Amino acid sequence: MEQGNRKPSTALIVGVTGMVGVALTDALKMPNTLGGPWKVFGVSRRPLPTWFPSPLLDKHIILDTLNQDNTKEILSPLASQITHLFWVALQANESEERNISSNSTMLSNVLSALTSSPNSKLSHVTLQTGTKQYAGPITDSVLSSHIIPQEPPFKEDYPRLPFPNFYHNLEDIIFSYSKLFTYSIHRPSIIIGASSRSYYNILLTLSVYALICKHENYPFRYFGNKYTWSHFCEVSDARVVAEQQIWASITKSAKNQAFNCTNGDMFTWKMMWKVLCDVFSIEFVTFDEKDKFDCVDFMKDKGEVWDRIVEENGLYKTKMEEISCFGLLDTVLKLNIQNSGSNTKCKSRRAEGKMGRGKIEIKRIENNTNRQVTFCKRRNGLLKKAYELSVLCDAEITLIVFSSRGRVYEYANNNIKSTIERYKKATSSTPNTWSPQEINAQYHQHSNCEDDVVDDFGNQYNPCVSNGASSRKTAI
Ligand SMILES: NC(=O)c1ccc[n+]([C@@H]2O[C@H](COP(=O)([O-])OP(=O)(O)OC[C@H]3O[C@@H](n4cnc5c(N)ncnc54)[C@H](OP(=O)(O)O)[C@@H]3O)[C@@H](O)[C@H]2O)c1
């Protein structure tokens, strides 16, 4: 594997509470992450939400990067530490001209603050843009009707479309600094990630729509067109995007390159609609072209219904307008283009070196912080997997995890006690089938776990667990 930078690295994530910002924070702090160990600083305008894994951040900086003076005052003193800038911020506006103006100002202010000191350590800038590079400014109500998109599958070296696009301006700003640092440009498709602080979180928006339909007994109608209903589309998991960005930031052959970044598996929206129906236990309604349904208009007055759903289910407090983007979703579901990018360039560069994260050796983690972080992440993973298994396969599951400090974390899709009774009954006549080695392995893991993790990072972070199933943390 080519790794250009072996010195201790400090990442500054601008847009840390967005979908990829959260995934980057997680990924950079994994014990075996490429280029690590990383110090991670994060910027956003608002304070961190309670679901954010705040123990992972070495510093959170509250800053509006549109403000040049504040940006200089706050970031210049850190220029001698920050080696890598991850640009995953966004200010979304109605017109592309305003997108260009605000996003360019933000990036210019940050780069100027990080490079003006003679002690600046900035060596690489990661710029996240997207497949609008190939589809054009689809959110601009005037320009969007004139766009002729590129030929799919989109390739990184296609010439720019002749339309204003703030991605071009951000690229040009980065290019103008090419003597000072290397860069990589990342072009995801629709991003799927866990954040209530994103302008455009399409899966969250669909989930809000599904839950409102379920709550109010409305049919869950598809509001796109026939093309998207039956043609292939693809998405980019925020974790996949974060991993590619980290790889490119420390890999020689990825320097000064642009990369598409999608999960690699295709789906039609018809398939996705069925999945959503299964997940939210709602009836599947097939698409009817004659049914002219305006979802943006339909959702306009549903804020109060969302408030009730939040209240009744004890969900993380959000306002529907802040977490949903029905306008963009409506546009995306009505596109007449095959939304598909080629991942070949990234795949072949990665194949040249050793791909991905190294394998972790299964032994006790000595570093206290890393051990706490790993406990947190793997526990959440375990709870999520248990939930998924129960939904996907109708399995009855009770999962109980004790931290080394005796804190208990549990998940059950049924009543815990009745599942335990069922277990007792099922095993009373059957001898325990675990081998002594398996039991030892279990014992070893439990007795070696240590310390607990900061409270806020727990179950709130997994927005998936709900649906009447219990998932909670109890201090004992
Ligand atoms: N969302 C998608 O599906 C998608 C798909 C493909 C490409 N992209 C592209 O990816 C890039 C990042 O978008 P995203 O959707 O990943 O971001 P996002 O989830 O909307 O996150 C935006 C982040 O930027 C912060 N932020 C916004 N304005 C700021 C400012 N003035 N100063 C400091 N922080 C600020 C926000 O926090 P605060 O609000 O608290 O400041 C938040 O942390 C954009 O170029 C976007 O077009 C997005």
Query: Measured in angstroms, how far is the CA atom of residue 322 from the centroid of ligand 1?
Result: 13
pLDDT of residue 373: 67
Look at residue 41 and give its three-state secondary structure. Answer: strand
Look at residue 288 and give its three-state secondary structure. Answer: coil
- Pick 363 or 297 by higher pLDDT: 297
Geometric angle at alpha carbon 145, from 141 and 146, rounded to 5°? 125
For range 126-139, the mean pLDDT: 96
Confidence of residue 475 (pLDDT cuts 50, 70, 90): very low
Query: Measured in angstroms, how far is the CA atom of residue 91 from the centroid of ligand 1?
Result: 6
| Spatial distance between the Cα atoms of 325 and 141, rounded to a whole number of angstroms | 15
For a pocket test of ligand 1, which of 12, 20, 43, 45 has the largest count of ligand atoms closer than 8 A to its C-beta? 45
Confidence of residue 312 (pLDDT cuts 50, 70, 90): very high
Q: How many CB atoms lie within 10 A of CB 308?
A: 12
Ligand 1 contact via 109 beta carbon (within 6 Å): no
Query: Measured in angstroms, how far is the CA atom of residue 23 from the centroid of ligand 1?
Result: 13
Task: Copy the structure tokens of residue 449.
Answer: 């776990």
pLDDT tens readout for residues 41-83? 999 999 999 999 999 999 999 999 999 999 999 999 999 999 9
For a pocket test of ligand 1, which of 44, 60, 139, 333 has the largest count of ligand atoms closer than 8 A to its C-beta? 44
Residue 476 has pLDDT above 60, yes or no: no
Burial of 24 (0-12, 13-18, 19+ CB in 10 A): buried
Task: Copy the structure tokens of residue 132.
Answer: 């609008």
Instruction: Determine which one of 134, 167, 200, 409 is catalytic.
Output: 167
Confidence of residue 188 (pLDDT cuts 50, 70, 90): very high
Residue 352 has pLDDT above 90, yes or no: no
Ligand 1 contact via 18 beta carbon (within 6 Å): yes
pLDDT of residue 380: 75
Look at residue 128 and give its three-state secondary structure. Answer: strand
Question: Percent of the chain having pLDDT more than 90?
Answer: 69
pLDDT tens readout for residues 335-350? 998 888 999 999 999 9
Task: Say which amino acid occupies 270.
Answer: K
Query: Measured in angstroms, how far is the CA atom of residue 304 from the centroid of ligand 1?
Result: 26
From 105-119, 120-134, 351-365, the region with the lowest mean pLDDT: 351-365
Closest C-alpha to ligand 1, atom 35: 44
pLDDT of residue 129: 98
> What is the DSSP secondary-structure string of 97-121?
HHHHHHHHHHHHHHHHHHHSSTT--
Report the chain's mean pLDDT, rounded to a whole number. 88
